[in-house]
Amino acid sequence: MFKSLRAEIDGMMARDPAARSRLEVVLCYPGFQALVIYRAANWLWRRDVRLPARFLSHIGRVLTGIEIHPGATIGRNLFIDHGMGVVIGETSEIGDDVTLYHGVTLGGVSPSENSESQRNTKRHPTLERGVIVGSGAQVLGPFTVGECARIGANAVVAKDVPARATMVGIPAKSINTAQQQPRRAAEEPPFIAYGTPTGDIPDPVARALDGLLDEVHQLRARVNELETQAQDSGVDGVEDGEQRGESESADGHEHLRGKC
């Protein structure tokens, strides 16, 4: 029990640049406190002690601002950073090493008129291992967010998300480029605070410039090739053309003069 709590604290410290000591996490991190209360409430829930489980999780909500239904299934090392306003619904499933920021909802959609019939059906999302959900994001419905996917702040996600995708907007759309996708599952992206990578993710403007430079080099090589061919075959067109161009432009200037 204490070993696993220690591991949870270490996981939180590894993912929050602001955390300085284990004691600080225990005393000042509502995400940690909510998780401890959830573990106890979930223990009661699984033994069919339902009302005390709900009441305990309600106390957790009052103390931390984080509402976790005791029936939710949560793996190891969940990190809820800041926490206030997080809601995790009853049939949510959360894999290991998931990170949620404040204001995230793992919720259902459109409650049906017959809530009795819905009680035992899955209504909330499943987040696979390593998912990061940005602040204010709403993940609504009984679908799966694949491993290591990142959901942008304030996104609204209402359908399946592929592993390692980055989703932003309402409704959320993927912004992954081919270069950003790890080529193999083994190339697992490391955790990055706030889900925001720095470093070797290629800059799209630099990529576009690289492409243009390549094209310029190819065109220059082609022009050189054509000039060599023209000289070899004795065509003197370039110089003729230049002379014709000069006299045409002189005429042209005569026409334009006086118009502007």
Ligand X SMILES: CC(C)(COP(=O)(O)OP(=O)(O)OC[C@H]1O[C@@H](n2cnc3c(N)ncnc32)[C@H](O)[C@@H]1OP(=O)(O)O)[C@@H](O)C(=O)NCCC(=O)NCCS
Residues that bind ligand X (CB under 6 A): 82, 101, 134-135, 150, 152-155, 166, 168-169, 175, 194-197
Query: Residue 96 and residue 87: Cα distance in Å, rounded?
Result: 18
In whole angstroms, how close is the CB of 62 to ligand X at the nearest point? Answer: 23
In whole angstroms, how close is the CB of 118 to ligand X at the nearest point? Answer: 30
| Residue 184 burial (C-beta neighbours within 10 Å; 0-12, 13-18, 19+) | exposed
Helix (H) / strand (E) containing 127: strand 126-127
Name the residue type at position 234.
Answer: G
In whole angstroms, how close is the CB of 102 to ligand X at the nearest point? Answer: 7
Tokens describing residue 136: 């204010």
In whole angstroms, how close is the CB of 223 to ligand X at the nearest point? Answer: 34
In whole angstroms, how close is the CB of 106 to ligand X at the nearest point? Answer: 15
Give whichever of 71 and 152 is closer to ligand X, judged by the CB atom: 152
Give whichever of 49 and 156 is closer to ligand X, judged by the CB atom: 156
Query: CA angle, 102 as apex, 173 and 201 as ends, to 5°?
Result: 45
Give whichever of 41 and 66 is closer to ligand X, judged by the CB atom: 66
In whole angstroms, how close is the CB of 165 to ligand X at the nearest point? Answer: 10
Give whichever of 94 and 155 is closer to ligand X, judged by the CB atom: 155
- Compute and round to an integer the Cα radius of gyration of the chain: 30
Give whichever of 53 and 66 is closer to ligand X, judged by the CB atom: 66
User: Comparing C-alpha atoms, which of 181, 131, 185, 180 is closest to residue 160?
Assistant: 131
Residues serving a catalytic function are: 102
User: Comparing C-alpha atoms, which of 76, 71, 64, 77 is closest to residue 106?
Assistant: 71
Query: Residue 85 and residue 99: Cα distance in Å, rounded?
Result: 15
* SS percent in the chain: helix, strand, coil, step 5: 45, 15, 45
Residue with tokens 């103390």: 63
User: Comparing C-alpha atoms, which of 158, 147, 152 is closest to residue 136?
Assistant: 152
Q: CB atoms < 10 A from the CB of 53, how many?
A: 22
